[in-house]
């Protein structure tokens, strides 16, 4: 997977992953706050795309601001919101398996659910709830997953992400989940539509080889892989996924982008 | 997958699955107690092979006896025992992720684990323990799983089995588990070795199309699928797995086997 990109032209918009790119846990990544300020000063339209579903959007933005990032809530697009939009569009009444912190954002599960919506339950993972979801899937109900990430970077190391439980339910039920966050092309395209920028004119910056970079390239968007967050040695040598650029961190990505001529 | 079988010849041994074949939960399946007594009267050597790892072998046998089944503890071969044997042979010091009822059988986890051994934690599934296992796997430690079943039949319906969590850890870590219970051919062959019976001379009776029937056929053992337990309409029409016989229940399987001429 590779997208055509002109290394001499500055992109017209940047879609930026949050965890692992701007911060790890409660710590801003070195130089990221200043780099974001430089992008702002250059007037580059931005959207922040996150598959983090343990936390509602408002709290994600509050945390980023405490670290010093200049980010507006409207600029952040979460996988949880994408799931809720799909639920509304289709008139579904789901069983929600989500972290308690996200419960208020998604609302209560239906008494007689006609769909399963899975988020990242984190330490609140619960067999009884997974089994209730499994039984609905065996009964043919739609299966919507906010994300399918393999792992993410926490302050004390890589941690298991919700993709494990999406895959597990898929295996046992024989059903495929519809993923609404990254790597779904629609998730990127929705963000670009709000900015009125074509995929080939934008850039994605992320630390996840599969769900940021590979997904962006598949959606026709040039992509930069940063060597922070969940990046692991060898990610930049995957024969199937070739980022347009691989850089040490977000600050270096911004430096290289702003060195290009505006189109 | 299909094994050569002579429909006119009685097998020299039967390897019988427990849950879903002899019983569901605490209820014996209709006619199963009497059918097992008929097999005993015909002097057919028997082994009972189970992937159930929520319960130690002694308690499994106690429960079967309370239902009226004439079964000796030495005749029951569990996936948990197979895992422990492998751990001993290889001198491993694992992190055990198991149901509390199985903890005494497997012993405590090592303080500095050099392997992961996963059983069916049932309702005690715990994110923090799965994450600890994930981190060991990312560190290259061996991954042993007692079983990888998709689901099993409980008294109130089909329930999610541990295969979901094996598959999930495999997906996130990029590592493959070594499965020691069914469908591993060695698990069947170990049982037949204790009986000194060749695979082609035995028969497997089970309710799991993949982990009983498909696995037996792949191990060179004729197999009978029963339409009880986790059996679902269509299991008997899978183009990839063709049981030697499909029968309504264990009693019918025994009736047909004993109608054959002893070899």
- Domain boundary, last residue among B152, B179, B206: B179
The residue-averaged pLDDT of B16-35 equals 97
Based on the fold, state whether residues B194 and B252 are members of the same structural domain: yes
Distance, in Å, from the CA atom of A237 to the CA atom of A221, rounded to the nearest integer, reads 20
Please, are residues B204 and B214 in contact by the beta-carbon 8 Å criterion? no
Distance, in Å, from the CA atom of B163 to the CA atom of B160, rounded to the nearest integer, reads 8
Based on the fold, state whether residues A37 and A99 are members of the same structural domain: no
Based on the fold, state whether residues B212 and B241 are members of the same structural domain: yes
pLDDT band of residue B46 (cuts 50, 70, 90) is very high
Enumerate the residues of chain A whose CB falls inside 8 A of the CB of residue B165. Answer: 164, 168
Domain-embedded: residue B263: no
CA nearest neighbour of B188 among B246, B161, B180: B180
pLDDT over 80 (residue B53) = yes
pLDDT over 70 (residue B115) = yes
Which residues are CB-contacts of A6 (< 8 A; sequence separation ≥ 6)? none
Cβ distance of B160 and A174 shorter than 8 Å: no
Distance of CA B27 to the CA centre of its chain: 19
Enumerate the residues of chain B whose CB falls inside 8 A of the CB of residue A99. Answer: none
Residue A202 backbone phi and psi in degrees, to 5: -105, 180
Based on the fold, state whether residues A74 and A102 are members of the same structural domain: no
pLDDT band of residue A5 (cuts 50, 70, 90) is low
Domain-embedded: residue B65: no
Domain-embedded: residue A8: no
Percent of chain A surpassing pLDDT 70:
97
The pLDDT tens digits for B118-163 are: 999 999 999 999 999 999 999 999 999 999 999 999 989 999 999 9
pLDDT over 70 (residue B8) = no
Task: Establish how many alpha carbons lie within 13 A of residue B72's alpha carbon, considering only the half-sphere containing its beta carbon.
Answer: 6
Based on the fold, state whether residues A162 and A95 are members of the same structural domain: yes
Helices B163-173, A163-173: inter-axial angle, 10-degree rounding: 140
Partner B contacted by A157 (CB < 8 A) = yes
Say what the pLDDT of residue B6 is: 54
The alpha carbon of residue B251 is apart from the nearest alpha carbon of chain A, in Å, by 28
Q: Which of A134, A160, A167 sits opposite B134 (nearest CB)?
A: A160
The residue-averaged pLDDT of B235-247 equals 95
Q: Which of A158, A161, A164 sits opposite B138 (nearest CB)?
A: A158
The alpha carbon of residue B4 is apart from the nearest alpha carbon of chain A, in Å, by 30
Please, are residues B225 and B209 in contact by the beta-carbon 8 Å criterion? yes
Say what the pLDDT of residue A9 is: 84
Based on the fold, state whether residues A144 and A186 are members of the same structural domain: no
pLDDT band of residue B42 (cuts 50, 70, 90) is very high
pLDDT band of residue B263 (cuts 50, 70, 90) is low
Out of A1-10, A55-64, A69-78, A175-184, pick the least confident. A1-10
First-to-final CA distance of chain A:
25
Distances (CA, A) of B124 to A1, A100, B97, B128, B180: 41, 19, 10, 11, 22
The pLDDT tens digits for B189-224 are: 999 999 999 999 999 999 999 999 999 999 999 999
Based on the fold, state whether residues A75 and A205 are members of the same structural domain: yes
Based on the fold, state whether residues A172 and A186 are members of the same structural domain: no
- Domain boundary, last residue among A179, A201, A230: A179
Q: Which of A122, A123, A130 sits opposite B160 (nearest CB)?
A: A130
Say what the pLDDT of residue A140 is: 98
Q: How many CB pairs under 8 A join A and B?
A: 94
The helix/strand/coil state of A135 is helix
The residue-averaged pLDDT of A107-132 equals 97
Which residues are CB-contacts of B186 (< 8 A; sequence separation ≥ 6)? B82, B180
Distances (CA, A) of A115 to A87, A118, A173, A191: 9, 10, 14, 26
Based on the fold, state whether residues A62 and A112 are members of the same structural domain: no
Neighbours of A44 (CB within 10 A): 18
State the sign of the Cα–Cα–Cα–Cα dihedral A177, B125, A56, A116.
positive
- Domain boundary, last residue among A149, A179, A209: A179
Domain-embedded: residue B210: yes
Domain-embedded: residue B6: no
Which residues in chain A (107-146) have CB-CB distances under 8 A to chain B?
121-128, 130-131, 134-135, 138
Residue A15 backbone phi and psi in degrees, to 5: -105, 115
Question: pLDDT averaged over chain A?
Answer: 95
Structure token pair of residue B207: 């309710």
pLDDT over 50 (residue A29) = yes
Structure token pair of residue B72: 């000796």
The pLDDT tens digits for B57-90 are: 999 999 999 999 999 999 999 999 999 999 999 9
**Whose structure tokens read 């079988």?**
B5
pLDDT band of residue A262 (cuts 50, 70, 90) is confident
pLDDT over 60 (residue B4) = no
pLDDT over 80 (residue B39) = yes
The residue-averaged pLDDT of B47-60 equals 94
Distance, in Å, from the CA atom of A9 to the CA atom of B216, rounded to the nearest integer, reads 61
The residue-averaged pLDDT of A124-129 equals 97
Based on the fold, state whether residues B169 and B93 are members of the same structural domain: yes
**Whose structure tokens read 């997958």?**
B1
The alpha carbon of residue A50 is apart from the nearest alpha carbon of chain B, in Å, by 18
Cis peptide before B112 (omega within 30 of 0): no
CATH number for the domain harbouring residue A45: 3.40.50.1000
pLDDT over 50 (residue A1) = no
Domain-embedded: residue A5: no
Distance, in Å, from the CA atom of B202 to the CA atom of B45, rounded to the nearest integer, reads 10
Domain-embedded: residue B19: yes
Residue B12 backbone phi and psi in degrees, to 5: -90, -10
Asked whether the whole model's pTM tops 0.90, one would answer yes
Mutate to test the interface with A, among B139, B149, B161, B164 (most CBs of A within 10 A): B164
pLDDT over 70 (residue B234) = yes
Structure token pair of residue B164: 């979901």
Distance, in Å, from the CA atom of B144 to the CA atom of B89, rounded to the nearest integer, reads 13
Q: State the residue range of the domain holding A220.
A: 13-79+182-258
Dihedral of the alpha carbons of B251, B257, B260, B262, in degrees to the nearest 10? -120
Distance, in Å, from the CA atom of A29 to the CA atom of A26, rounded to the nearest integer, reads 10
Distance, in Å, from the CA atom of A99 to the CA atom of A107, rounded to the nearest integer, reads 12
Domain count, chain B: 2
Based on the fold, state whether residues A94 and A175 are members of the same structural domain: yes
- Could you report the predicted ipTM of this complex, rounded to two decimals? 0.92
Based on the fold, state whether residues A239 and A250 are members of the same structural domain: yes
Domain-embedded: residue B144: yes
């Amino acid at each position: 997977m590779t997208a055509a990109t002109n290394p001499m032209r500055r992109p017209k918009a940047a879609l930026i992953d949050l965890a692992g790119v701007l911060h790890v846990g409660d710590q801003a990544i070195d130089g990221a706050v200043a780099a974001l300020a430089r992008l702002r000063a250059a007037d580059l339209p931005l959207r922040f795309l996150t598959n983090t579903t343990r936390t509602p959007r408002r709290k994600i933005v509050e945390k980023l601001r405490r670290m010093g990032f200049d980010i507006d809530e409207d600029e952040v697009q979460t996988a949880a919101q994408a799931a809720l939009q799909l639920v509304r569009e289709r008139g579904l009444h789901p069983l929600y398996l989500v972290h308690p912190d996200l419960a208020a954002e998604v609302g209560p599960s239906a008494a007689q659910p006609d769909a399963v919506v899975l988020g990242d339950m984190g330490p609140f993972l619960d067999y009884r709830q997974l089994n209730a979801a499994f039984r609905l899937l065996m009964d043919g109900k739609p299966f919507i997953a906010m994300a399918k990430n393999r792992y993410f970077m926490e302050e004390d190391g890589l941690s298991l992400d919700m993709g494990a439980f999406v895959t597990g339910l898929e295996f046992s039920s024989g059903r495929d989940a519809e993923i609404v966050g990254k790597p779904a092309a629609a998730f990127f395209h929705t963000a670009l539509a709000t900015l009125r920028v074509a995929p080939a004119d934008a850039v994605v910056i992320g630390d996840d080889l599969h769900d940021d970079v590979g997904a962006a390239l598949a959606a026709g968007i040039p992509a930069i892989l940063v060597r922070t967050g969940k990046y692991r040695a060898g990610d930049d040598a995957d024969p199937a996924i070739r980022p347009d650029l691989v850089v040490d961190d977000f600050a270096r990505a911004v430096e290289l982008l702003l060195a290009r001529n505006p189109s």
